Amino acid sequence: MCGIAGWIDWSRDLTNEGRTLKNMTDAIEHRGPDAEGSWLRGHAALGHRRLIVIDPDGGRQPMLYQSEEKTIALTYNGELYNYLELRNELIEKNHRFTTNSDTEVLLHAYLEWDVDCVYHFNGIFAFGIWDERKERLMLGRDHLGVKPLFYTIKDDEILFGSEIKALLAHPDVQAEIDTEGLSEVFGLGPMKTPGKAIFKNIYEVRAGHYMTLTNKDRNTVQYWKLESKEHTDDIETTVRTIRGLLEDTVKRQLLADKPLVSMLSGGLDSSGLTAIAGKEFNKENKTLPTYSIDFVNNEESFKEDFLRRDLDEPWVKRVSEHVGTDHTSIVFDAEKLVDNLLTPMKARDLPGVGEIETSLYLLFKEMKKDATVALSGESADEVFSGYPWFHQQEFLDADVFPWLLNIGGIAGVLKGDLKEKLNIPDYQKKRYQEALAELPELKGESDVEAKQRRMSYMFITRFLPFMLDRKDRASMMTGFEVRVPFCDYRLVEYLWNIPFEMKNIDDIEKGILRRAFEGYLPDDVRNRRKSAYPSTKDDAYLEGVQKWMISIVDDPASPILELIDVETVRTIAEGNSHLPDSSAKGLLDYLIQVNGWLEEYEIKIAI
C-alpha cells in the first residue's frame, strides 16, 4: 500500500518541477512512510510514497521500463492478489523479471496487454502509467474501488493522486465548493456520488473504470460491472462455492513480508475470516494476532437497540479461544474520541461519520504498533444483503437511498435561503434516479425480488464506496494497510445473482454465509444476530460535542455560520431539541467536521 501522485502537461517540460511534485507526495506521506520516489521527464512528473509490504528491496517506485529510447513509468498503490500466477504467465510469454514485487508484474502486464491489463487483475489497486511511446497517461482503479484515485484536468494539464490533498498541494488547484458540492455535503454526506470529489473541478476515477488521456483524446472505460443472470446452483453448490472463494481469497491476502493481523468484532463476518486465516497460520505453527475495540464504561451503560443487540467482547473472547488467536482489546474513553474528532476528516479530506470513524482511526493507530497489514470483515453486509432494510417494505418501496429515508440528510439545519436554493430533496432523488438507471435488471423476477436487487445495487455502488473510503483513509493515515476479502470481485459477482431468499436461508440475515462458515465457527457464533459497529454510550461524549458546537456558533469567525440556521443548531447543541441523543450526537459530530473542513482547507464557497 502506498500513496501516488502525478502531473502530466502536454504543453510544457516538467523536468524541473521536482519541488512541486514533492509537495504533492509530502501531502500524502502518511500513506507511505517507508520510502519516497519521483521521476520527471518531458511532459511527465510521477511521485510515490511507499508503505513496504511485499519485496522490500525490489518494489521501489516509480518503476520504469525502457523500450528503445522511450520510457514506460508506473506509480502504483495496492496489491495484486494473483500476481504470482500472472508472473508465471508473463514469463511464458518471454517477459523477464528482476524483482519479486507485484509492481513489476503490473508493469509487465501493461507491456503485454496494454490497457486490457486490468481485465487480468485480481486485487485492490490504483495506478498511473505514463507511456512515452504514445504520449499517453493511463489511470486505473480496482473493481470495487477499495483504493482511491482522484484527478483534475485543466487545458493541457492533468493532476492525479491517492488523496485530494495531493492535488490541493499543487499551485494550480484551489479548494472551492459550489452548489453541487454543498448538495453532496448536506444532502448525501458522508456518502457521495461516485465520480464526485465534492471539491469543484476535482473528480475520482470510478470503481471498475480506467481512463486514457493524450493531448487529443480523453476516454473513460468501464471494464467491470455487475451483470444480472439467473442463479442456477442449488443450495449445497452455492454454499460450497462461497466457502471455496473465501478460502482462496483469504489465503491470497495473507501474503505479506510484514506482520499481519486480523480485526475481530465477534460478529459473523470478521469471525469467519479470522477462523480461515487462523487455520492457515496454524499450518505454519504460527498464532494469528487479533484486535477488537471497546469503550470505557461500555458494559455498564449498554442498552439494546435496533442496531446493537448485545456486547461484542464476550463473543470476541469466544472466537479468539476457539480459533486460538493472540487477542488484544483496545479500549478508548470519550475524551480521546472528542480530542481526535477532526483527524479522520483530515484523512478523508471530507466530513465523515464522526465518533465511529474516529474510533476506527485510533484502533488502526494502536494496531500499527505491532503490524503493517490487517484483514477486515468490511463489506459483507453489502454484498450478502445483510441489512434489515432488505425485508422491510417501507424501505423497499422508497424512491430514495434507503439510508436517507426518514432522515433526509442534514439539510434541516441550513439557512432558509440556502435550503431553498439547494433543494436537497430533489437533489437526493436525482442522484437516486441516476443510480437506478445503471441497474442491470433481470427479467422474470417478482416485484419484491426486483426491489431487493435494486436495493442491493444501491448498497454495493453507493453505500459500500463510503465504507471503503472510510477504512482506507483511517488506516492509511497511520501507514497501515487493511485488506477486505469480502470485496474480491469474483465473490461479489457470484453473490449478486443469488436470490435474496437463498442469501437469507434458515430465516436469518446472511444465512448462506453462516452455512459457509460451518466447521470454522461454533454454532452459537455462526447464529449470532447482526450487531452494528460499536460506539461509546458515555454521556461525556455527547457533552463534549455539545460544548464544542456551542463554541462554534458563538464564534463569529466560524465559516459554517454562513450556511446554517444558527439558532436551530444552538438549540440542538444545548440539548433542547426534540432529537434523541443518538441523532443529536451524529448531527453535531458532522457539523463540527464541516466547520473544521471549511476552516482547515480554507474553502472558498462559490454559490
Q: CA angle, corner 553, sides to 550 and 558, nearest 5?
A: 125
Q: CA angle, corner 591, sides to 149 and 406, nearest 5?
A: 90
Supply the DSSP symbol for 521: B
102: three-class secondary structure by DSSP: helix
Least-confidence region, from 90-104, 297-311, 372-386 = 297-311
Q: Comparing 517 with 54, which gets the higher pLDDT?
A: 517
Least-confidence region, from 216-225, 324-333, 381-390 = 381-390
Per-domain boundaries in the chain = 2-222, 235-526, 539-605
Mean pLDDT score, 186-192 = 93
Cis amide prior to 522 (ω within 30 degrees): no
Mean pLDDT score, 368-382 = 96
Mean pLDDT score, 316-322 = 97
Ligand-binding annotation for 293, yes or no, is: yes
Going by CATH, does the domain composed of 235-526 fall within 3.40.50.620? yes
pLDDT band per the 50, 70, 90 thresholds, residue 298: confident
Same CATH topology for 2-222 and 235-526: the answer is no
pLDDT the model gives residue 406? 74
Mean pLDDT score, 71-88 = 97
Query: Are 96 and 138 within 8 A, CB to CB?
Result: no
Q: Please report, rounded to a whole number, the percentage of residues in the chain having pLDDT higher than 90.
A: 88
Q: Comparing 409 with 55, which gets the higher pLDDT?
A: 55
Give the pLDDT confidence of 408-439 residue by residue, as tens digits.
568 899 999 999 999 999 999 999 999 999 99
**Residue 340: φ, ψ to 5°:** -105, 15
Q: Please report, rounded to a whole number, the percentage of residues in the chain having pLDDT higher than 70.
A: 98
Mean pLDDT score, 513-522 = 98
Q: Comparing 130 with 53, which gets the higher pLDDT?
A: 130
Q: To the nearest 10°, report the CA torsion of 431, 432, 437, 440.
A: 130
pTM: 0.96
Inform me whether the pLDDT recorded for 55 exceeds 70. yes
Sheet holding 218-222, edge to edge: 63-67, 70-80, 123-131, 136-141, 209-213, 218-222
pLDDT band per the 50, 70, 90 thresholds, residue 587: very high
pLDDT the model gives residue 307? 60
Inform me whether the pLDDT recorded for 487 exceeds 90. yes
Say which residue the cell 482506507 belongs to.
Answer: 472
pLDDT the model gives residue 485? 98
- List the catalytic residues: 2
Q: Comparing 356 with 305, which gets the higher pLDDT?
A: 356
Give the pLDDT confidence of 201-217 residue by residue, as tens digits.
999 999 999 999 999 99
Going by CATH, does the domain composed of 2-222 fall within 2.60.40.10? no
Mean pLDDT score, 41-68 = 91
Inform me whether the pLDDT recorded for 338 exceeds 90. yes
Ligand-binding annotation for 377, yes or no, is: yes
Inform me whether the pLDDT recorded for 306 exceeds 60. no
Mean pLDDT score, 479-502 = 97
Mean pLDDT score, 6-32 = 97
Mean pLDDT score, 160-188 = 97
Q: Comparing 529 with 248, which gets the higher pLDDT?
A: 248
Grid cell in block for residue 5:
501522485
CA dihedral for 504, 505, 507, 511, sign (positive or negative): negative
Pairing assessment for the beta strands 44-50 and 70-80 based on DSSP bridges = unpaired
pLDDT the model gives residue 301? 66
Ligand-binding annotation for 417, yes or no, is: no
